[in-house]
Structure 1
Amino acid sequence: MTLAPSLTDAPVYDCRQVFAEELRALAREDDRVVVVCNDSVGSSNLGGFRDEFPGRLVNVGIAEQNMVGVGAGLANAGMVPFVSAAGPFLTGRALEQIKADCAYSGHKVVLCGQSPGMSYGELGPTHHSVEDLAWLRAVADLTVVVPTDRAQTRAAVRWAYAHDGPSYLRIPRFKVPDVIPENAEFSPGRAVILREGDDVTLVAIGTLVSRALIAADRLAAEGISARVINTPFVDPLDEATILAATETRGIVVAEEATLSGGLGAAVASLTGQHAPVPLRLLGVNGFAPTGSADRLLEHFGLTADAIHHAAREILGLRSSMP
Structure 2
Amino acid sequence: MTESIVDGGNELPHLSVADGPRYDCRDAYVATLSELAHDDHRIVGVVNDSIGSSKLNSFRKAFPDRLINVGIAEQDMVGIAAGLANGGRIPFVSAASCFLTARALEQIKADVAYSDHNVKLCGMSPGVAYGELGPTHHSIEDIAWLRAIANMTIIVPADPIETAAALRWAAGIEGPVFVRVSRMRVPQVNADDYEFVPGKALTMRSGDDVTLIANGTVLWRALVAAERLAADGISVRVLSMPTVKPLDVEAVIAAAAQTAAIVTVEESSTAGGLGGAVAETVVAHHPTRVTILGIPEFAPTGSAGYLLDRYGMSPEGIAESARRLLEHR
State the TM-score, normalized to the length of structure 1.
0.96
SS at match of 1:207: helix
Which residue does the alignment assign to 1:173?
Answer: 183
Matched, 1:254 2:265: yes
CA distance in 1, matches of 2:76, 2:65: 19
Q: Write out aligned runs for 1:128-143 (5 A).
A: 128-143=138-153
Q: Cα distance, 1:135 vs. partner?
A: 0.1
Q: Cα distance, 1:187 vs. partner?
A: 1.7
Match of 1:114 among 116, 119, 124: 124
Q: Cα distance, 1:6 vs. partner?
A: 5.2
Q: Cα distance, 1:5 vs. partner?
A: 9.0
Which residue does the alignment assign to 2:294?
Answer: 283
Which letter maps to 1:117?
G
State the TM-score, normalized to the length of structure 2.
0.94
CA distance in 1, matches of 2:18, 2:94: 31
CA distance in 2, matches of 1:6, 1:106: 40
297-306 vs 118-127, which deviates more?
297-306
CA distance in 2, matches of 1:61, 1:46: 14
CA distance in 2, matches of 1:138, 1:179: 29
Which residue does the alignment assign to 2:95?
Answer: 85
Which letter maps to 1:305?
E
CA contact (8 A) 1:92 1:132 kept: yes
Q: Deviations over 1:249-276 (max 9, x none)?
A: 0000000000110000000010011100
Which residue does the alignment assign to 2:321?
Answer: 310
CA distance in 2, matches of 1:151, 1:56: 25
CA contact (8 A) 1:64 1:89 kept: yes
Match of 2:193 among 166, 183, 206: 183
CA distance in 2, matches of 1:128, 1:155: 26
CA contact (8 A) 2:165 2:194 kept: no
Q: Cα distance, 1:183 vs. partner?
A: 3.2
Task: Return 5+ residue gaps in structure 2 as ranges.
Answer: 6-13
CA distance in 1, matches of 2:272, 2:41: 38
Q: Deviations over 1:155-197 (max 9, x none)?
A: 0110110111000000011100000123334222101110100
SS at match of 2:95: strand
Which residue does the alignment assign to 1:31?
Answer: 41
CA contact (8 A) 1:142 1:168 kept: yes
**Aligned sequence identity (%):** 55
CA contact (8 A) 2:45 2:67 kept: yes
Which letter maps to 2:273?
G
CA distance in 2, matches of 1:261, 1:172: 20
Which letter maps to 2:106?
E
Q: Write out aligned runs for 1:136-155 (5 A).
A: 136-155=146-165
CA contact (8 A) 1:5 1:217 kept: no
Which letter maps to 1:206?
G
Matched, 1:61 2:63: no
Which letter maps to 1:80?
I
Which residue does the alignment assign to 1:104?
Answer: 114
Aligned pair count? 317
Q: Deviations over 1:95-124 (max 9, x none)?
A: 000011111101000000000000001111
Match of 1:2 among 4, 8, 24: 4
CA contact (8 A) 1:83 1:110 kept: yes
Match of 2:307 among 296, 300, 310: 296
Which letter maps to 1:174?
M
CA contact (8 A) 1:184 1:192 kept: no
Which residue does the alignment assign to 2:279?
Answer: 268
